[in-house]
Every structure is written in C-alpha cells, then in structure tokens.
C-alpha cells in the first residue's frame, strides 16, 4: 500500500494526472494482498481507463483501492490476469450496519468437500468425487447427485465421520471475517448441501447463529446409504436466507450470501450481495461479485468499501 500512497498522497485524484477523467461513473474496487503501485499501473494499461482514485486502505491482509470510472466487464478478467480481485460496487450491504451472512460450507467455510473425504475412507472416493464435480458444475441435479453419492456409503461405519471431522480444515480468513462481522452485530449462518455432522460442529465451534444441512441416516453405527428428511437444495438455501433475515429483523439490503457451487446461485441471487468464492466457472459467470484470489477476508473488503462510499457522499 505504501507505494500507492507515496504516488497518490491525497484523494480524490486522477490515476493519470495529465489526462481527463470521465465524470459520474460508478464505483469499483481492486483488492489483494499483493496490490501495489506496479500492479495498479499494469491494470490501468490493460484497461486504458483513467480512473479517479478515492481511497486506499488495508483490510485484514488486503490492500483495497476505491475507484470511480467506467468499469467494463472485461476489466475483471484483466485484474485476474494480475492476480488481483476486482468488483463493481453495485450493492448496498455495509460492514458497519448489522446484517446477515449466509455461507456455504464445503469449499467455502472449509477447504474440503466432506462427502469426498468420507468416501475416500469408505473406499468409494473416485466415484463420489466424479459425481460431486459434475454436480458443482451444474451438470447434474443436486438432489439426485447427493442421493447417489450417499448411496455409495451404504454399510460404512459412522466412525469415519469423526475421522473426517477431526481434521476439518477451516478456509483462510474465516475466523477473522466472523470476528469482524460480529463487532458490528452481524448474524452468521451456514446453509449447506453437506451434512449436519460437520455444519452443526462448525456452528458450535465458531459461535454462529444458525446452521442447516442434510442428515445422514445411521442405524446401529452404520450408514444406511440414505438421507434423512428434506434435502437442502438451492431453493431451500435461498428460502433459509429470506427466513433468517425476517427472523433476525435484518434489512434485506444488508444480506450477503457466499458460496462456490451451482447449488449456491439461488441464495446468492436473493441476497443483496451474492459473492462467488473461488467458484466453479458456471458460478462465476452468473455471480454478482467474484472473489478468486483473496481468502474469506475479501468479503470484508467488499463490505468496507460500501462504508467508504457512504462517507464520501455524506
């Protein structure tokens, strides 16, 4: 950040002082732990746009730069070529206003797909991984694919669930993001197509407000290969977000959903801010905001940017 502030000690300022800046365009941000003056100027050269710079700050391990100017869709790809994240600030949600975050679990709140790890221990790993990958790409109906995956676990011992949970790897930035959101009174939930054995554990360990997920059918310590109760599919997740916002009296304008798979698109679409996190290509194509390089603290970059804009317009 220091190289940027040395070059631009005062805001607002034009990125290229000798060129005219377009008036009254929307706000956008660049953010990354690697963002510096060299990468900023490389981004400008790729875009050919003279952005007006309004602010630069640190959020967790990230440097965030608030800009104004015409931001074409291909600019996101240019940022990604430089291993920077970028977002158009076309949402209301603010960090400083108590809100609701609903997260996917597998490959979002944690680094693994639990059912893939369970299947490895049950001896059906390759089969289940192939089904999981196809489902996450949106090539298979989620409910059918889930039942097929769980079906391969028939006869496995319940103890393998504990083996997976014992080594559950949290996603980078998860604890920091939860801690920061709680400072501002946010409610935080998991809505997962995974399983209660893991989602409920995370809820208790992290002090979350709610968790919903699927439940293995287990008889006498043995998995039956079936799922108990309703399946937590895409529309179920979206409904949970809306119900929780009403239950916790959260303004819909301050609701956020984050996930990585096709099963998350519905809840991302009903939230004020829907963020695709290190997501599958189909999800990135449909998402409002894409985070490809930052860890989960990238969410704090997005929400803090809304606060910065609000301060500018007061």
Cite the active site residues: 104, 106
Q: Can you give the length of the chain in residues?
A: 314
Long-range contacts at 141-145 (CB < 8 A, ≥ 24 apart)? 142/193, 142/231, 142/233, 142/234, 142/262, 142/263, 143/231, 143/233
Residue pair 178/101 in contact by the 8 Å Cβ criterion: no
Stretch (H or E) spanning 66: strand 62-68
Q: 172: exposed, middle or buried (C-beta count within 10 Å: 0-12, 13-18, 19+)?
A: middle
Write the DSSP symbol of residue 110.
B
Stretch (H or E) spanning 188: strand 187-195
């Amino acid at each position: 950040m220091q190289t940027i502030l040395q070059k631009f000690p005062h805001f607002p300022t034009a990125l290229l002082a000798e060129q005219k800046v377009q008036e009254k365009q929307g706000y956008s941000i660049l953010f990354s732990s690697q963002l510096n003056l060299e990468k900023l100027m490389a981004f400008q050269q790729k875009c050919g746009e003279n952005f007006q710079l309004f602010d630069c700050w640190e959020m967790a391990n990230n440097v965030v730069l608030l800009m104004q100017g015409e931001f074409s869709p291909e600019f996101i790809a240019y940022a990604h070529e430089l291993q920077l994240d970028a977002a158009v600030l076309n949402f209301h949600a603010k960090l400083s206003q108590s809100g609701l975050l609903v997260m996917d679990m597998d490959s979002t709140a944690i680094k693994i797909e639990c059912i893939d790890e369970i299947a490895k221990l049950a001896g059906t790993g390759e089969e289940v991984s192939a089904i999981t990958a196809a489902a996450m790409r949106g090539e298979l109906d989620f409910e059918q694919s889930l039942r097929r995956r769980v079906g391969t676990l028939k006869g496995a011992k319940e103890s393998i669930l504990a083996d997976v949970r014992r080594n559950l790897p949290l996603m980078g930035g998860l604890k920091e993001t939860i801690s920061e959101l709680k400072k501002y009174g946010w409610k935080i939930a998991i809505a997962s197509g995974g399983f209660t054995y893991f989602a409920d554990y995370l809820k208790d360990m992290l002090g979350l407000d709610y968790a919903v997920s699927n439940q293995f059918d287990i008889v006498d310590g043995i998995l039956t290969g079936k799922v108990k109760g309703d399946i937590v599919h895409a529309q179920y997740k979206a409904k949970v977000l809306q119900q929780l916002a009403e239950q916790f009296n959260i303004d819909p304008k301050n609701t956020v959903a984050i996930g990585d798979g096709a099963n998350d698109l519905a809840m991302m679409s009903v939230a004020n801010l829907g963020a695709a996190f290190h997501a599958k290509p189909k999800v990135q194509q449909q998402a409002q905001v894409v985070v490809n390089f930052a860890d989960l603290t990238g969410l704090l970059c997005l929400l803090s940017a809304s606060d910065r804009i609000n301060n500018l317009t007061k």
